Structure formats: C-alpha cells, structure tokens
C-alpha cells in the first residue's frame, strides 16, 4: 500500500478547483441522488420529464439545465407505457434520451453495462434508475448492505462526473422529518449526495411538496401541482435563486478593472475595494473562495487572477485583457 497523498491547508486554499457542476442548476448536481415518494404519487412521470428536458436542454421549473445524453432505466415499465407517456409530455423526444426496461443488478453486470453505455455516450449528464429496488441483489436490509449497494452508483457518478438519480419509496408511517420516511436504513440517506421526497398533500389532490436536502444544495421546499400535460408544475419555491458565484465575481471584478488594467492586493484590500459598505457581504475569506471557484469564467471574460498566498502582503494580481474565445 502506498503512502497517503496529502495537501496542506495553504496550498489547498490557493489551488483553483472546478466548482460543482449542476445538471439542474442549484438543484441536481453531479453525484448520487435519491427521489423517494409514495406509490403512484407521480415519481416516474417526474423522472421521465427530467430525462427528456435535460436531453433537450430545457429548463426545469425555471432552472437552467446542462444539456447532454440521458439514460432512463425504467425497470417497472414496458416500452409501450413509456411510449404512451412520452406522447403525453412532449411533441418531440430527442435521440439523446435513451430508455431501457431491463438490466443486470448490482454486482452481477450492472456496473459493466453502465460503463459501456457511458463510454459509447461520453456526453451523458444524467442517469435515472427507476427503481432502486429493481437493481439490488436479494439480501437482508442492513446498514452495511444499503451502504454497499449505493456506493457502487456513487463511485460511478463521481468517476464520470454525472448525476445518477435513484427512484425509491417512502414508508407509510408518518415522521416529523420526512427524510426519516425513506425506506431502508439511514445508510441510504448517508450514501447519497442529495435526497428528495415527493409527498402529496392529499391522495389525488394533484398538489405535492418536493423537499430537498444535500451536500451541494441548500435545503428547500418546492410546492408543485399536477399539470394538464402530466408534468409537475412549480407553484412556489422556498429558496430565492441567487446570482451564481461565477457571474457575480465576473461582474464585480469587471467593474473594478474598468479604469485600470491591473490590480494588486490582499483579500482584505480586495473585499474593501469591491464591497466597501459591506452590503454584498463579501468578506476576505469569501472573496478568496469566490475567485478560486471562478477562474475559468473570469478567463473567458478577459480577467486573469493569480494567487500568491505565500507572499506576505500581496495575495492577488488581477489583470484584464482579451476574453478567451
């Protein structure tokens, strides 16, 4: 076994890292996610709409999507049912959305099938598995088994930089925290990057709440209603959509460099320069993170940011030039 590969704190805080890539902006990021709901609540309709919309690059509840190939493993449906549902939700399904009604299970060929598909379609952004239970081997429901089964999909999602959404069920019994109703042990919620629960206000009411929590997203609740085209429509969102970090940093630094081609200073000096009254809440620590997470977007807009965290009294050099084509 080799030595541990470590990175020290100073180096980590000066290293530009790629920000989390979202398939559905601020809602579904790359990684492993679970969508749980009661039987016949409309989970599969929602999954189908997501698969088609992302493949077409259409917005989901006013949120931009990252267009790419999508794969929907609809393992409880027939090809005829999927065809009928497609006609209900769209007039033109693209050839970049793929459907499959049969596949192997975890540890018995599924990983190889998924890898083969992703190699054939390297632009894949989203894979939906409906349902989780259909790809699991038969064994006792224990914390270790739950965690091991989901870790397979988690590793694949991280390796390929895609989002994998598992459709699952909720228990019938009520709970103060809706996420405690997700069927299985707590390992299921612990193994995924985000959890979503879809709960109807009343059976057959056509109104539901999508509750969301995750490592890369803020807690939020979306009130939905069932539309005439069999798509869950947004009624309200508990979270106001903030300006993205990248867009915000490009705007702030563009204003700073309008009258000068170069600026040199510390994070404290920079935060005071671009947010002198503190109205935007841009602290020295926050400005450093925002710059490091926006290096690519800044470069595309003609701004070069160089960090020199190991040089006392001089941390950033900002220069403006021609945008990257």
* Whole-angstrom distance, CA of residue 158 vs CA of residue 198: 25
Q: What is the pLDDT of residues 208-249, one digit of tens each?
A: 999 999 999 989 999 999 998 899 999 999 986 555 656 677
Q: Is 314 among the domain residues?
A: yes
Same domain, 231 and 248: no
Same domain, 104 and 227: yes
What's the confidence (pLDDT) of residue 244?
60
- For residue 89, count CB atoms less than 10 angstroms from its CB and return exposed for 0-12, middle for 13-18, buried for 19 or more: middle
Q: Is 3 among the domain residues?
A: no
Same domain, 232 and 272: no
* pLDDT of 309 higher than 60: no
Could you say which of 218, 237, 256 is where a domain stops?
237
* pLDDT of 314 higher than 70: no
Candidate from 11-15, 102-106, 179-183 with smallest mean pLDDT: 11-15
Same domain, 164 and 211: yes
Q: Is 13 among the domain residues?
A: no
Could you say which of 183, 213, 237 is where a domain stops?
237
Q: Which run of H or of E encompasses 82?
A: helix 79-89
Q: Is 14 among the domain residues?
A: no
Three-class secondary structure assignment of 18-59: CCCCEEECCCEECEEEEEEECCCCCHHHHHHHHHHHHHHCCC
Q: Is 143 among the domain residues?
A: yes
Same domain, 50 and 85: yes
Same domain, 147 and 120: yes
| Cβ atoms of 147 and 190 closer than 8 Å | yes
Across the range 149-163, mean pLDDT stands at 96
* pLDDT of 53 higher than 90: yes
CA angle 325, 258, 248 (to 5 degrees): 70
Q: In this structure, is the dihedral angle defined by the CA atoms of residues 130, 90, 52 and 296, taken in order, positive or negative?
A: negative
Provide the domain limits for residue 275. Answer: 243-320
Q: What is the pLDDT of residues 258-287, one digit of tens each?
A: 778 888 888 888 888 888 887 777 887 777
Compute the residue count for the chain: 325
Q: In this structure, is the dihedral angle defined by the CA atoms of residues 285, 286, 287 and 290, taken in order, positive or negative?
A: positive
Q: How many structural domains are present in the chain?
A: 2
* pLDDT of 310 higher than 70: no
Q: Is 8 among the domain residues?
A: no
| Cβ atoms of 156 and 116 closer than 8 Å | no
* Whole-angstrom distance, CA of residue 76 vs CA of residue 44: 9
Same domain, 207 and 275: no
Q: Is 202 among the domain residues?
A: yes
What CATH number should be reported for the domain holding residue 61? 3.40.50.300
Q: Which residue has the higher pLDDT, 17 or 148?
A: 148
Cα distances from 255 to residues 98, 208, 226, 250, 324, in angstroms, run: 45, 43, 44, 9, 18
What's the confidence (pLDDT) of residue 324?
57
What CATH number should be reported for the domain holding residue 293? 1.10.10
Same domain, 316 and 181: no
Same domain, 97 and 56: yes
Across the range 23-34, mean pLDDT stands at 96
Same domain, 166 and 247: no
Could you say which of 198, 219, 237 is where a domain stops?
237
Q: Which residue has the higher pLDDT, 319 or 184?
A: 184
Same domain, 44 and 136: yes
**Quick one: pLDDT band at residue 93, thresholds 50, 70, 90?**
very high
Tokens of 149: 């089964």
Q: Is 110 among the domain residues?
A: yes
**Quick one: pLDDT band at residue 318, thresholds 50, 70, 90?**
confident
Same domain, 69 and 189: yes
* Whole-angstrom distance, CA of residue 276 vs CA of residue 33: 40
Q: What is the pLDDT of residues 77-92, one digit of tens each?
A: 999 999 999 999 999 9
- Taking the model in full, what pTM does it have? 0.80
């Amino acid at each position: 076994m080799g030595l541990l590969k470590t990175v020290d704190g100073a180096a980590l805080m000066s290293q530009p890292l790629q920000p989390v890539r979202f398939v559905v902006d601020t809602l579904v990021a790359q990684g492993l996610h679970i969508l749980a709901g009661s039987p016949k609540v409309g989970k599969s309709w929602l999954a189908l709409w997501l698969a088609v919309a992302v493949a077409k690059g259409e917005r989901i509840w006013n949120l931009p999507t990252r267009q790419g190939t999508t794969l929907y493993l609809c393992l409880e449906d027939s090809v005829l049912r999927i065809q009928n549902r497609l006609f209900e939700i769209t007039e033109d399904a693209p050839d970049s959305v793929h459907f499959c009604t049969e596949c192997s299970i975890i540890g018995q060929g599924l990983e190889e099938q998924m890898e083969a598909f992703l190699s054939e379609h390297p632009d894949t952004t989203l894979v939906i598995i409906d349902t989780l239970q259909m790809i699991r081997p038969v064994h006792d429901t224990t914390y270790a088994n739950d965690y091991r089964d989901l870790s397979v999909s988690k590793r694949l999602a991280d390796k390929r930089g895609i989002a994998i959404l598992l459709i699952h069920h909720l228990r019938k019994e009520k709970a103060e925290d809706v996420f405690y109703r997700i069927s299985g042990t707590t390992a299921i919620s612990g193994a995924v990057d985000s959890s979503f629960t879809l709960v109807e206000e009343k059976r057959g009411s056509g109104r539901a709440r999508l509750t969301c929590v995750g490592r890369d997203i803020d807690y939020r609740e979306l009130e939905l209603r069932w539309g005439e085209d069999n798509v869950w429509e947004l009624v309200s969102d508990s979270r106001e959509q903030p300006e993205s970090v990248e867009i915000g940093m490009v705007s702030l630094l563009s204003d700073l460099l309008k009258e000068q081609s170069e600026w040199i200073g510390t994070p404290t000096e920079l935060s005071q320069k671009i947010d002198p009254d503190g109205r935007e809440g841009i602290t020295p620590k926050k400005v450093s993170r925002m710059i490091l997470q926006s290096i690519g977007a800044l470069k595309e807009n003609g701004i070069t940011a160089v960090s020199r965290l190991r040089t006392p009294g001089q941390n950033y050099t900002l220069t403006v030039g021609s945008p990257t084509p």
